[in-house]
Amino acid sequence: MTQYNELPESIRHLIDNNRNTNQNSAFKDLIREGGYVPPEEDLLTDAITALSMGKNVLLKGPTGSGKTRFAETLSNLFNQPMFNVNCSVDLDAESLMGFKTLDYDGDKQIIDFVPGPVTNAMKNGTFLYIDEINMAKPETLPLINGVLDYRRTITNPFTEEIITAGEGFGVIAAINEGYVGTVPLNEALKNRFVVIDIPYLQGELLKKLIQDTSRLDEERTTDLFVQLSGDLIQAVTQGKLAEDAASIRALIDACDLSAMIPPKRAIQRAIADKLDEDREKEFVMTIAETLFG
């Protein structure tokens, strides 16, 4: 586990400063380095604080809100490589822990063990990122309860090896509650995490993200896309559109395209046509029409 005093000076500075004030320049430098732009500064501070104390962090938010980018940023900030688990109904003990395989030692056949992400992250003392944690079957993840609590230990069911996590090991998970195909996260599992709510980036910060990361460089159009995002989020909140419509990922795709093709067509391709219902597609295109005329 990374102790506070082992953190890079810049991060300690960040945490210290945030205790007193929300305005500090160290924070702004960190954003530029890492990639994720936190809608509120507390998100970054709190995630860093929790991880530096060895607590598991659960990033909770809608699709395309930057959860994966946030986890990558945290692993960069801590200078820790990250091993990934992508959850699905197919997730099983082998995809977490690893599997046995036949190999040759000279001409002698031997059984080898190929470590999985949990085994790797624990042994190397690095981060483990569990994406879409509520897509897994409810019975699968409790396998790693021991990894998630203070024991930080697991017996590998395939080798009987007892693995204890190395220094620096940390767990970040992501969840999109209410998304189709997900199951509510088991309470015992949820209990083992500190939860950080991840809202969509909006306003000036979103504008800056578009300017920094998309191919679009026209300010007027960028402003309209920021407005579009706000309108889409509002429509999703009101239940008029499926959640995917508000994804920042899709928004940035639309911005990229609109550097080359008319914005309305970009919005149709990157946002509207992904939605299931015609009514939703029309709704998005009506907003686009209002803004981009």
Ligand X SMILES: Nc1ncnc2c1ncn2[C@@H]1O[C@H](COP(=O)(O)OP(=O)(O)O)[C@@H](O)[C@H]1O
Using CB under 6 A as the criterion, which residues of the chain lie in contact with ligand X when the complex forms?
35-37, 61, 63-69, 174, 201, 209, 213, 248-249, 252
Beta strands in 8-94 (DSSP E): 56-60, 82-86
Rounded to the nearest 10 degrees, the angle between the axes of helix 248-257 and helix 263-270 is: 140
255 interface partner picked from ligand X, Mg ion, none, CB below 5 to 8 A per type: none
Residues 6+ apart with CB under 8 A from 159: 100, 113
Nearest distance, CB of residue 69 and ligand X, angstroms: 3
Is 73 one of the binding residues for Mg ion (CB under 5 A)? no
Distance CA(84)–CA(120), nearest Å, equals: 10
The residues with which 103 forms a beta bridge, in sequence order, are: 110
Q: Which stretch binds Mg ion (CB under 5 A): 6-14, 60-68, 161-169, 206-214?
A: 60-68
CA 173 to chain centre: 7
Nearest distance, CB of residue 209 and ligand X, angstroms: 5
Nearest distance, CB of residue 282 and ligand X, angstroms: 25
15 interface partner picked from ligand X, Mg ion, none, CB below 5 to 8 A per type: none
36 interface partner picked from ligand X, Mg ion, none, CB below 5 to 8 A per type: ligand X
Nearest distance, CB of residue 176 and Mg ion, angstroms: 8
Distance CA(36)–CA(32), nearest Å, equals: 8
Question: Which residue's Cβ lies closest to Mg ion?
Answer: 68
CA R_g for the chain: 22
Write out the two tokens for 198.
């991840």
Helix, strand and coil in the chain, % to nearest 5: 50, 15, 35
Nearest distance, CB of residue 247 and ligand X, angstroms: 7
Residue 16 backbone class (left: φ over 0; alpha: ψ -120 to 50; beta: rest): alpha
Q: Which stretch binds Mg ion (CB under 5 A): 66-74, 199-207, 251-259, 263-271?
A: 66-74
Question: Which residue's Cβ lies closest to ligand X?
Answer: 66
69 interface partner picked from Mg ion, ligand X, none, CB below 5 to 8 A per type: ligand X
63 interface partner picked from ligand X, Mg ion, none, CB below 5 to 8 A per type: ligand X
Distance CA(5)–CA(166), nearest Å, equals: 18
Is 68 one of the binding residues for Mg ion (CB under 5 A)? yes
Nearest distance, CB of residue 130 and Mg ion, angstroms: 11
Interface residue list for Mg ion (CB under 5 A): 68
